[in-house]
Amino acid sequence: MNKETKKKLLAPFPKEVVQDPPKGKFGKFVNHAVYIERLRDCDVDYEWEFEPIIINDKVIGAKGRLTVEGKVYEGAGDVEGPALARATLGECLKLAESDAFKRSCMRFGLGVELWSGTDDFYADDNKQQPIQKTGKVKDQVIEKEDEALKKAKENFAKDIMQPAEPKITQKILQEMVFISCNEDKNFANKCWKTSMEMTKLKAKVTGDVATWKESTIKTFLDNVETFVTNYADEYKEREGNTDTINNIIDVLDAKVSDKKEEEVGEVKEGPWMQEQPSEKQLKPFNDCVNKAIDNGDDELAAKAKSALADGSINKGNIFDWVDTETWSLKDGS
């Protein structure tokens, strides 16, 4: 920084921006924004970062770190008692940051005249007198506050640090699946659900993608690749089908036992046939019922609804009510 810029930067603030302290306080002050304007107008290269100090869920202060032209200046700000009692957490955070910023500026000379002659705790250590402990209640309170502040600093990272950014988000992962599935919405939806379930089983994780490790993400993408390789041709043949038809195909596929050999035979009958229809089975069934109503066949639609309500329709016979050639409702009783 050249001498001319430094002189302009560290010049005392004009009297018109210096304000008197509130009633009951001492020490003139200048608003936070004026400090920012001075740095801006002097074209100074600076960086600012701060860490709030929280005790009992209240922001009581902040530690600031101001880097000006490559040199670091630190300062601590606080929140006064009245503000702690009435201000919100966000307001206290702003007050603490503002105070820390101005004190950091003071460390390299900007606004230092506002502190001149005051009993500021930034005075050199050898000029400060240590607190004489008398054993009175007041001194015990001071000791407890010091211990609490020390503990808050030690636990700062654990208590208030923001969680690490996730390695990947669900939205990005879904976009990757969508692209891998040649932007086929139905194919991508099926691929996502299948790959997700396989990943949760293999890696023993939840479906919260933000918590996944890199190894889990790799496992998921491997599952996606396997699914796409195995079923891309099948889904390509489905192009042009309505959602209802593709849902029917999925339902029929779901009936096939995974214990069968590569050449799939007929689905074995069993107790599963008496179970209530699945959501995938109900969707095409309900579509056909609605279609019947639209076509004025209210009697058949009412009969189908009644059969479903009294349990006559189950997993084993629900498609007796669906004409798979016209995808319309028929009497399956």
Sign, CA dihedral 201-206-208-212, equals negative
Q: What is the mean pLDDT of residues 26-45?
A: 86
> Tell me, what's the pLDDT at 175?
83
Q: Please state, rounded to an integer, the average pLDDT across all residues of the chain.
A: 76
Query: Would you tell me how many other CB atoms lie within 10 Å of the CB of residue 39?
Result: 17
Share of residues in the chain with pLDDT > 70 (%): 71
pLDDT the model gives residue 49: 92
Residue 101 above 90 pLDDT?
A: yes
Which pLDDT does position 241 carry in this prediction? 60
Q: What is the CB-side half-sphere exposure of residue 157 using CA atoms within 13 A?
A: 2
Mean pLDDT of 274-297: 83
Question: How confident is residue 160, by pLDDT bands cut at 50, 70 and 90?
Answer: very low
Q: What is the pLDDT of residue 141?
A: 46
Most confident option among 111-120, 130-139, 241-250, 307-316: 307-316
Q: How confident is the model at residue 310 (pLDDT cuts 50, 70, 90)?
A: confident
Cα 218 from Cα 266, distance rounded (Å):
36
Which residue's structure tokens are 């209530």?
A: 276
Give yes or no for residue 90 having a pLDDT over 60.
yes
Residue 65 has a pLDDT of: 92
pLDDT value of residue 229? 83
Q: According to the model, what pLDDT value does residue 125 have?
A: 39
- Exposed e or buried b per residue across 99-132, where buried means at least 16 C-beta atoms within 10 angstroms of its C-beta: bbbbbbbbbbebbebbbeeeeeeeeeeeeeeeee
**Residues of the chain above pLDDT 90, percent:** 5
- Give me the mean pLDDT over the 86-104 stretch: 86
- In this structure, the strands spanning 328-329 and 46-55 are unpaired
Q: pLDDT-derived band of residue 29, with 50, 70 and 90 as boundaries?
A: confident
**Segment 196-218 mean pLDDT:** 86
Q: Which residues contact 213 (CB under 8 A, 6 or more apart)?
A: 167
Q: In angstroms, how far is the first alpha carbon of the chain from the final one?
A: 92
> Is pLDDT above 60 for 281?
yes
Q: pLDDT band for position 62 (50/70/90)?
A: confident
Residue 61 is predicted with a pLDDT of 86
